[in-house]
Amino acid sequence: MRLPILSLLIPFFIELSCCLQCMAIATPAHFLNIEAPTSFLHFTANQSLRAEELNTIAVFEKAAKSVVYITNTAVRRDLWSLNTFEVPQGSGSGFIWSSKGHIVTNFHVVYGADSIQVVLDDQSTHDARVVGLDPDHDLAVLQITPPKGKLKPLDIGNSQDLQVGQKVLAIGNPFGLDHTLTTGVVSALGRSIKAMNNRTIEGVVQTDAAINPGNSGGPLLNSSGKLIGVNTQIISPSGAFAGIGFAVPVNMVKRIVPQLIQYGKVIRPGLGISLIPDSIANRWGVTGIVIARVQRGSVAAKAGLKSLEELRSGKIRLGDVIVSIDGEAIRNYDDLATILDRHNVGDRIKLGVRRKGKERTLRIKLQAVN
């Protein structure tokens, strides 16, 4: 009789064994009150995920620890009581640049703020101070003072070898939500966008990874989890994601951020001149950049550049008008600033100027200007 009973129980044991295996796969080990081998749980939990998905998960889990949520407030005065109070002004994202507490974000995220708070991955909140601002490239550096060993700087990549079609990941806090991951590809390279101060930012990365309000200042990563850009703008009729977002390339960030940390501003290459506003030059019918004044001892002065003169009659006599740099036409201040932005202090350029209707070319070594 034993053999038939055992044969009847075998299917039951097999079914029970299968159920326990299913529970081990679908239920956390602490819920079952057992300690399953880590390798077994990792295998069973991820055996249905593709390698690409596992890579995305790994990148997010590592990089999210370096992404922060930024809020800023402005002080307002009550018209009736004259009492001052703080009001929320905006929010955005940022990321940890260094273990010394430096946080990189967008300029427009902290613009006009009277106080700024940074929320770390562990949900701790820290007061931040502004270290440096660069509105021309929509970048800002903040600093907090958290406990030692708490900050994990983001890995910095390279934007020079980016290719259209390669995978990218964006992490931020859209609409004030906690860490949110979106994925996409590099849609285009070398785009130009306008900063908040209407300056042109060149070489921008375009992506279709969803970027929404609140994502500003957050990192754009490659599939290795390295920073390749800082998310800054979107094009959208509705104000929300429409498939076109832009990020300041990391090579530009790597050049600007150290200057913001050291000087609080960007040390730009220039000529040592002051200029007549474009609106006035246009009114005069002048094409190019009109030099208003040449600073003493500047490279422009040494090259013999001439500023405009005001005659006794009250009329203005033009001096030199900048029309090109290295053969590239200069029509307005934005053209000049954009071309100079590609250079470093000490670089030599060929400056095309027009004086009394005649054009000539000068070789000038760029100097540091504020």
Q: Which residues participate in catalysis according to the annotation? A: 108, 138, 216
CA of 226: how far to CAs of 71, 184, 361, in Å?
A: 25, 15, 43
3-state secondary structure of 239: coil
Beta strands 321-325 and 348-355, pairing class: antiparallel
Q: Round to whole Å and give the CA distance between 119 and 121.
A: 7
Closest to 304 in 3D by CA, of 314, 313, 294, 312:
294
Task: Give yes or no for a contact between 227 and 219, defined as CB atoms under 8 angstroms apart.
Answer: yes
Q: Distance from CA of residue 156 to its chain's centroid?
A: 12
| C-alpha triplet 360, 363, 364: angle, nearest 5° | 120
CA distance 289 to 322: 5
Dmax over CA atoms of the chain, in Å, equals: 129
Residue 194 structure tokens: 């306008």
Distance CA 108, CA 126 (A): 20
Q: Which residues of 106-115 are buried (b: 16+ CB within 10 A; e: fewer)?
A: bbbbbbebee
Q: How far apart are CA 277 and CA 254, in angstroms?
A: 31
Residues 226/155, Cβ–Cβ less than 8 Å: yes
Amino acid (1-letter code) at residue 124:
S
